[in-house]
Amino acid sequence: MVRLGPNRYGKAEVRLVRVARGARPDGGDVLKDWNVSTSLSGDLAAASLHGDNSHVLPTDSQKNKVYALAKELGEAVEPEAFGLELAAFFLSSQQPITRARVSIEEYGWTPIGATGYSFARSGDLVRTTTVVVDQALGVSVVSGVQDLVLLNTTGSEFWGFPKDPYTTLPEAKDRILATEVSARWRYRPETVDSGHWGSSFAAAKAALLSAFSGTYSYSLQQTLYAMGSRVLADVPEACEVRLALPNKHHYLVDLSPFGLENPGEVYQAGDRPYGLIEGHVLADDAPDAGLAWT
Amino acid sequence: MVRLGPNRYGKAEVRLVRVARGARPDGGDVLKDWNVSTSLSGDLAAASLHGDNSHVLPTDSQKNKVYALAKELGEAVEPEAFGLELAAFFLSSQQPITRARVSIEEYGWTPIGATGYSFARSGDLVRTTTVVVDQALGVSVVSGVQDLVLLNTTGSEFWGFPKDPYTTLPEAKDRILATEVSARWRYRPETVDSGHWGSSFAAAKAALLSAFSGTYSYSLQQTLYAMGSRVLADVPEACEVRLALPNKHHYLVDLSPFGLENPGEVYQAGDRPYGLIEGHVLADDAPDAGLAWT
Amino acid sequence: MVRLGPNRYGKAEVRLVRVARGARPDGGDVLKDWNVSTSLSGDLAAASLHGDNSHVLPTDSQKNKVYALAKELGEAVEPEAFGLELAAFFLSSQQPITRARVSIEEYGWTPIGATGYSFARSGDLVRTTTVVVDQALGVSVVSGVQDLVLLNTTGSEFWGFPKDPYTTLPEAKDRILATEVSARWRYRPETVDSGHWGSSFAAAKAALLSAFSGTYSYSLQQTLYAMGSRVLADVPEACEVRLALPNKHHYLVDLSPFGLENPGEVYQAGDRPYGLIEGHVLADDAPDAGLAWT
Amino acid sequence: MVRLGPNRYGKAEVRLVRVARGARPDGGDVLKDWNVSTSLSGDLAAASLHGDNSHVLPTDSQKNKVYALAKELGEAVEPEAFGLELAAFFLSSQQPITRARVSIEEYGWTPIGATGYSFARSGDLVRTTTVVVDQALGVSVVSGVQDLVLLNTTGSEFWGFPKDPYTTLPEAKDRILATEVSARWRYRPETVDSGHWGSSFAAAKAALLSAFSGTYSYSLQQTLYAMGSRVLADVPEACEVRLALPNKHHYLVDLSPFGLENPGEVYQAGDRPYGLIEGHVLADDAPDAGLAWT
């Protein structure tokens, strides 16, 4: 005999662009460019077991609410606040739904020209957030950054490692260190209602950059820990950071067959394989994570 | 104060192509095309905290072992067996390492021509496996399939759903149902040592196809449950199935402005947004999953 | 002073899925899955120069016609025939339009199960066609294949090449040869009206496979020429073939540091860089290509 | 009988990262991140026809020269100058080679922190160049930009277009205009030897941005022409501009079913289909393009 385990459903990748006309201090427009995904859980087993959809609010309705809420909430709402409102709406309006998850990617745009209405996509990173609202377990907010590519041309070593029969890697006293940052940080429950989401995000991003740049590194693990620690230090409303850092290898090219020296100048950027370093950094008093990372 | 939480590191996406020359019954070659990722955990905190790499077997060494093991294990090894050997090697040879995870994607190739050495890439799906070996918690194997795109031109309805103020979707008594299957199934611990991995995979794939094709569907949730149940029924060595099924919407085009009827003939295939249905199906006697899904 | 040069505009990537219900000999459905792009040229300068759109049929109207034509042409139409009809429509119905280009990608699906309405996406290749209809220069049809990945585990050498001061590549007497075929062939003008498009495509695809498989290769250039020549030999209605063949390098892994031999068994599949071989093969009596490749 | 037509071969996507240590005025490093592709033509038919490689300089040697030249040319070389040197090298050193093409993509990096050696990838655009050196036809340089995404929240209309039986699009007096710019401009032959490539690129990019932002648009065609004209006006060393501008549709969401007005605030960003506008803009005295665009 078999049984249905945890399950959820929703609408993924609702592409929402919100223009707040004249909302800038200089009279220019504010542009929000989001990719919103919703996911609902609750008393839904009948759909799976019997094709009974009486509790299944259509994913199309979820999509419609995303667009409507963008109007209802007015201008300049942060993605975390939007996600909290949206998730709470599904729980309050659909009795069978006991948990809602909203995930948002925000793409940055930079004003260009003097029109006040012209923009160029920034492309340097994607801001993310995931909100979970559960009837029993409460509210959690995890925000983050992805697609942020960082590189130090020096200030990185890697040596003192064990040598097994399959080890041919020479020790490195100076190497390029490059990675594409995926970082997420969990906000403390008590700050969720009063979140200054924009400034918290800015502080976390600045912490990631400055820790990457400012850490003399003996391994990417060490840099990861420094980045996570810095976020916790500079963003006290965060209590846990999870990072996934690919080690984007840059190989110093051997130019000696061509009679050339290559003292740290010419590198081949590798695609695959790459190292992958993953780790969590927590405040000592971090409360239980509950559903935050699900 | 902060502390280091769970962490792991390894080499990702080692691209391994293995030729077993003359290994086919007809004398032709056997071609294995894999993407292998390793990840190690254990007594590694010193690297993060102090830049002390004395326990950090280089990811480059892990990569080398992948290639060496492909030679050492000889011909025609299944990815699950390869992963088990590789993970066990890291635990047995590196005292600080207490857990190893190996993940493999296998790309299919079809022999062409009469040479015995010519192939075309199949492209219909990717076979996957993830093996975890933990010193304390033992061994787990999860295998799966991804990038398998299925479509029923009829035999699918969706109605009887709740209508909230944001519901505009009409009820559907006949629609296209299409999805891109991501399915993973966990093997029972007692079968791990005796796995007939190839035939288990073939049976699971066949179960997914036949359940998708043969289920008259009132929701993709129902189809998901049917697919998971069928795998458990047809592959008794599996005890749990996890599926993620995007609902790839196909919109019937309104041709009435052009004086044309469109009785289920012409559709627009949508990109985004899409529905996303996720669920687990378990055997009633499924043992605890342990680290299988981590 | 500046002037407007050649220009065109249209709708790109119209995703059309066409179901012909019961059209298979066994009573099953026929599924066509296309990606259609249109492009129009003609007396259009006023739009660029003065913002005068009186000759600019909206790209939205072009999209609508794609869907309507799929209904109007009935079942089982080949992409080449569809493109010819569509292009001719734009010229005949819009006086300022003197040239139309239609490009179609077709994705393959394989029937599964016994329902007659269930399919799995094939994934082995994409069939393509580009039709150009010009008021003055007439009609051309170029069809092709892309994303077809082929590999020979042996039967390939590369040696006898010049050695310049930057040459370190050893000569190879036995190597893997792998490529991802992009091939397009131009049909003779006199066959355009009577095209047996499906069987011509099948013959060309078979020719590409058999020439790749059956050619003992001293360079990918030689294989390219064999593939092009075979298409022209087996598809007499084609008069020119253009191929772009990336040389997807497979590097024999040096296992000697680990005390292992590797006689053509274990390879690393490389991503970048890759070789890229491009060439045209023509029938001696191939007429001028006109606009076929534009 | 068949014959070999135009053909070429080379190494594609050589990933080159060049560090010029201390080369910034502030003592910081300069980082160049390139993707280099080479392609050679000439007396090469024997390879295709007979597998005779005596004229085929290996693509591996071409790759080696890319890396060596990055050392040989020293610091801070522009991609156009690099391509010219590289192409000329192949012609001068390989007698059978009569034409070389070098194509380079440059990815931008922004210094971060105070170290002088830390960078974040910019991500806003890719700078491109293609150099062709031909023994008979001389030298050409085409530079450009791609992946530059621009958006105006207003200042765009589209109306006055013809209405055919398939036209349902309403006229628009105010719409979002968004595109992803692919632009290439050809330099005048007489400027090739004295190119101030960096400042020309900066001027062209600024011209594209300011023309997009500053043009009140009645069609994307009009905007394209304005962008091309502006480049020619502001970069007199350029004589031709070719642009491909996808019309990235943003659909105003109909919120009236939910009792909400939507006066230009909430949009759905569409993926496919999209418009595609392509056009050339030339200086009246532009010389023949020769091989520049091949």
CATH of domain C7-136: 3.10.270.10
Q: Sort out which chain A residues have CB atoms less than 8 A from B52's CB and list them.
A: 160, 218
What pLDDT is attached to residue C76? 75
Measured CA distances, C246 to B209, C181, C221, D6 (Å): 34, 8, 11, 17
Q: Do C160 and D276 touch (CB under 8 A)?
A: no
CB neighbour burial string for A135-173, b if at least 16 within 10 angstroms, e if fewer: eeeebbbbbbbebbbbbbbbbbbbeebbebebbebeeee
Inspect the interface and report whether the beta carbons of B212 and C253 lie closer than 8 Å.
no
Q: What's the confidence (pLDDT) of residue A75?
A: 77
Pairing type for strands C118-134 and C138-152 reads antiparallel
Question: What pLDDT score was predicted for residue A36?
Answer: 98
The answer to whether the Cβ–Cβ distance between A275 and B59 falls below 8 Å is yes
Contacting partners of chain A (3+ CB pairs under 8 A): B, C, D
Q: Do A128 and A105 touch, CB atoms closer than 8 A?
A: yes
Give Rg (Cα) of chain A.
23
Contact C260 B123 (CB under 8 A): no
* Interface with chain D: mutation pick from A118, A119, A210, highest number of D CBs within 10 Å: A118
- Cα angle vertex B243, ends B239, B247, to 5°? 155
Question: Which token pair is D72?
Answer: 């040989």
According to the model, what pLDDT value does residue A193 have? 85
Query: Per residue in C57-84, pLDDT tens?
Result: 999 999 999 999 999 998 779 999 999 9
CA–CA min distance D258, chain B (Å): 6
Residues C163-172, mean pLDDT to the nearest whole number: 98
Residue C236: partners with Cβ closer than 8 Å, 6 or more residues away:
none
User: What's the pLDDT at C203?
Assistant: 98
CATH architecture of B8-136: Roll (3.10)
Closest by Cα among D168, D162, D218, D169 to C54: D162
**Three-state SS string across chain B, please?**
CEEEEEEEEEEECEEEEEEECCCCCCCCCEEEEEEEEEEEEECCHHHHHHCCCCCCCCHHHHHHHHHHHHHHCCCCCCHHHHHHHHHHHHHHHCCCEEEEEEEEEEEEEEECCCCCCEEEEEEEEEEEEEEEEECCCEEEEEEEEEEEEEEECCCECECCCCCCCCCCCCCECCCCEEEEEEEEEEECHHHHHHCCHHHHHHHHHHHHHHHHHHCCECCHHHHHHHHHHHHHHHCCCEEEEEEEEEECCEEECCCHHHCCCCCCCEEEECCCCEEEEEEEEEECCCCCCCCCCC
Whether residue A268 and residue D16 make contact (CB cut-off 8 A), yes or no, is yes
Dig out the tokens for A16 from the structure: 């929402």
Q: B9: number of CA atoms within 13 Å, CB side?
A: 27
DSSP code of residue A217: B
Residue type for position A132: V
Tokens of C85: 């009809």
D39 neighbourhood in chain C, CB within 8 Å: 276, 278
pLDDT at B193 over 90: no
- Which among C15, C274, C283 is the nearest to D12, CB-wise? C274
Q: Report d(CA A169, CA A178) in Å as an integer.
A: 18
- Give the CATH class of C146-294: alpha beta
Task: Give chain A's mean pLDDT.
Answer: 97
Contact C267 B18 (CB under 8 A): yes
Are D178 and D224 a contacting pair, CB within 8 Å?
no
**Interval C179-227: pLDDT, tens:** 999 999 999 999 998 889 999 999 999 999 999 999 999 999 999 999 9
CA distance C168 to chain A (A): 8
Q: Do B168 and D257 touch (CB under 8 A)?
A: yes
In this structure, what are the phi and psi dihedrals at residue A241, rounded to the nearest 5 degrees? -130, 135
According to the model, what pLDDT value does residue C271 have? 98
Has A50 been annotated as catalytic? no
Query: Could you give the CA distance from residue C154 to residue C172 in angstroms, rounded to a whole number?
Result: 11
Is residue B171's pLDDT more than 80? yes
* Amino acid at site D24: R
Of the candidates B17, B109, B124, the beta carbon closest to that of C120 is on B124
CA distance, residue A256 to nearest chain B CA (Å): 23
Q: Has residue D75 got a pLDDT over 80? A: no
Which of B15, B65, B162 is the closest to A54 by Cβ? B162
B193: Cβ contacts below 8 Å, ≥ 6 apart: none
Q: Which residue has the tokens 């995931």?
A: A130
Residue A74 has pLDDT above 90, yes or no: no
Does residue B217 register a pLDDT over 90? yes
Please give the pLDDT value at position B49.
Answer: 97
pLDDT at residue C195, as a whole number: 82
Q: Tokens 């029937």 — which residue? A: C111
Residues of C in contact with A168 (CB under 8 A): 257
Cα–Cα nearest to C79, from C190, C184, C197, C199: C197
Q: What is the model's pLDDT at position C285?
A: 97
Asked if the model's pLDDT at residue D195 lies above 90, the reply is no
Rounded distance, CA A224 to CA A231, Å?
11
**Chain C residues within 8 A of A250 when measuring between CB atoms:** none
The span from the CA of B260 to the CA of B253, in Å, is: 10
**Assigned CATH class of A137-294:** alpha beta
User: In this structure, what token pair is assigned to residue A200?
Assistant: 């918290």
For the residues D23-34, what does the mean pLDDT come to? 96
| D85 pLDDT more than 80 | yes
Q: Do D51 and C222 touch (CB under 8 A)?
A: yes
Q: Verify cis geometry, omega within 30 degrees of 0, for the bond prior to A189.
A: no
Rounded to 5 degrees, φ, ψ at A93 are -100, -15
CB atoms within 10 A of CB D198: 14
Question: Could C151 and B250 be called an inter-chain contact, meaning their C-beta atoms sit closer than 8 Å?
Answer: no
Q: pLDDT (tens digit, 9 = 90+) per residue, A32-58?
A: 999 999 999 999 999 999 999 999 999
CA–CA distance, A61 with D222 (Å, rounded to integer): 39
What class does CATH assign to D8-135? alpha beta
> Which of the following is catalytic: A59, A153, A191, A294?
A59
- Of D114, D176, D269, which is closest to A15 when you measure between CB atoms? D269
A166 neighbourhood in chain C, CB within 8 Å: 258
Measured CA to CA, the distance from residue B128 to residue D284 in angstroms comes to 59
Task: Out of B120, B125, B266, name the one closest to residue C71 (CB).
Answer: B266
Rounded to a whole number of angstroms, the distance from the CA of D147 to the nearest CA of chain A is 9
Percent residues over pLDDT 70 in chain D: 100
Express each pLDDT in D207-265 by its tens digit: 999 999 999 999 999 999 999 999 999 999 999 999 999 999 999 999 999 999 999 99
Chains in contact with B, where contact requires at least 3 CB pairs less than 8 Å apart: A, C, D
Q: How confident is the model at residue C149 (pLDDT cuts 50, 70, 90)?
A: very high
Question: For D210, which of A17, A113, A117 is closest by C-beta distance?
Answer: A113
Among residues C55, C59, C250, C280, the one annotated as catalytic is C59
Q: What is the DSSP string of D193-236?
A: GG--HHHHHHHHHHHHHHHHHH--BSSHHHHHHHHHHHHHHH-T
Q: What is the DSSP secondary-structure string of A181-212?
A: EEEEEEEPGGGGGG--HHHHHHHHHHHHHHHH
- D241, two tokens: 């501009």
Question: Residue A195: which pLDDT band, with cuts at 50, 70 and 90?
Answer: confident
Inspect the interface and report whether the beta carbons of D112 and A68 lie closer than 8 Å.
no
Question: Among B55, B59, B153, B191, which one carries the catalytic annotation?
Answer: B59
Instruction: Note whether A238 and A188 are within 8 A (CB).
Output: yes
Active-site residue, from B167, B215, B249, B294: B249
| Residue B282 pLDDT greater than 80, yes or no | yes
How many angstroms separate the CA of residue A194 from the nearest CA in chain B? 23
- For residues A259 and D64, what is the distance between their CA atoms, to the nearest angstrom? 12
Fill in the amino acid letter for A108: G
Quote the tokens at residue C98: 């003197």
What pLDDT score was predicted for residue D194?
85
Same fold flag, A8-135 and A137-294? yes
Is B33 in Cβ contact with C115 (below 8 Å)? Answer: no
State yes or no: pLDDT of A76 exceeds 90: no
| D219/C51 Cβ within 8 A | yes
| pLDDT above 80 for B55 | yes
Question: C249 vs chain A: nearest CA distance in angstroms?
Answer: 14
Ordered by start, the domain boundaries in chain B are: 8-136, 143-294
What share of residues in chain A are helix, strand, coil (percent, to 5)? 25, 40, 35
- Tokens describing residue A207: 């912490």
> Are the beta carbons of B66 and B86 closer than 8 angstroms?
yes
Nearest-neighbour CA in chain D from B170: distance (Å):
14
A·B CB contacts under 8 A? 253
ipTM reported for the complex surpasses 0.90 = yes
pLDDT, tens digit, for every residue of A257-292?
A: 999 999 999 999 999 999 999 999 999 999 999 999
pLDDT of residue D74: 83
Of D168, D258, D272, the CB nearest to B257: D168
C interface test, pick of B61, B69, B77, B112 with most C CB neighbours within 10 Å = B112
User: Using one digit for the tens of pLDDT, what is the confidence trace for B109-152?
Assistant: 999 999 999 999 999 999 999 999 999 999 999 999 999 999 99
Confidence band for C281, pLDDT divided at 50, 70 and 90: very high
Q: What is the pLDDT of residues A200-234, one digit of tens each?
A: 999 999 999 999 999 999 999 999 999 999 999 99
Distance CA A279, CA A266 (A): 31
pLDDT at A99 over 80: yes
Cβ proximity of B99 and B132 under 8 Å:
yes
Upper half-sphere CA count for residue A271 (Cβ side, 13 Å): 12
d(CA A38, CA A6): 16
The CATH code of domain B143-294 reads: 3.10.270.10
Distances (CA, A) of C60 to B255, C12, C227, D166, D246: 14, 10, 40, 9, 14
Quote the CA–CA distance of C1 and B289 in Å, as a whole number: 73
Pick the catalytic residue from C32, C205, C248, C249: C249
